[in-house]
Amino acid sequence: MFAAENGLKGDPRLQAISEAIRVVPHFPKPGIMFQDITTLLLDHKAFKHTVDIFVDRYRDMDISVVAGVEARGFMFGPSIALAIGAKFVPLRKPRKLPGEVISEAYELEYGTDCLEMHVGAVQPGERALVIDDLIATGGTLSAAITLLERVGAEVVECGCVIGLPEVKGQCRLNGKPLYILVEPREIDNCC
C-alpha cells in the first residue's frame, strides 16, 4: 500500500521525498532508470520526513526488531529502530558478518544472491519490520521474510521508500503487508 492511499494523500512530505530522489538513466545498465536515494540523504528535511513517516506508522505496533536489507536499508533502518525503541538487525550479503550466521538464497532477474543474519540476533516470537529503499520484483524482501521467520520471528510488515505502482513483487511476500512511500520518478525533462 502506498502512503498516499493510507491517510497521507496530499501530504507535502511525500512530494519532498520524491523530488529529493535523483533519477540516473541507464545505470547500472541500459534501460534502467536508477532511483538514487543518496540525494535524498543529502536533503536533511526530506531524509527526516522519510524517517518520520515510517516512525509514525510503526511507533505503536510493538515491533522489537527492525531488519535492514543491505545496503540501503541500513540508511533508514537504524533511525527508525531508535525512534520506536527496537533493535536494528542488519541483513547482509554473504561473508560480511563475522561469527555464526543463518543464510537465505534467493533468485534475481539476473542470477541468485543471498542474505545473512547473525545467529541469535532475533529471538522466536519477536515482531519484525523489514526496511529497504526500493521494491521491484520482491525477491530480496521475500528472502528477508523467510530468514526472519526461520528463526521464529513474526514479520509484521515490509517498508520501502520507493515502489512500482504495479508492484508485482508483493505477491512474492507471502501475504505480508507492504508499505511504500513514493513511486519511482522518471527523468526530469529539463534539458
Does any domain span residue 8? Answer: no
Nearest CA to 88 among 113, 108, 57, 58?
Answer: 58
User: How confident is the model at residue 167, as a pLDDT?
Assistant: 63
CATH number reported for the structural domain that contains residue 92 in this entry: 3.40.50.2020
Q: Is 166 a catalytic residue?
A: no
Please give the DSSP secondary-structure letter assigned to residue 185.
Answer: P
Give pLDDT, residue 168. Answer: 56
Instruction: Please say if 109 is a catalytic residue.
Output: yes
Active-site position among 5, 100, 109, 186: 109
Which entry of 72, 92, 104, 172 is annotated as an active-site residue? Answer: 72
User: Residue 170: which pLDDT band, with cuts at 50, 70 and 90?
Assistant: low
Specify if 134 maps to a domain.
yes
Any domain includes 51: no
Residue 74 phi, psi (nearest 5): -70, -20
Task: Give the pTM.
Answer: 0.94
| Domain coverage including residue 174 | 61-182
Percent of the chain with pLDDT over 90: 79
pLDDT for position 191: 39
Given this model, what pLDDT does residue 190 score? 46
What's the structural domain count of the chain? 1
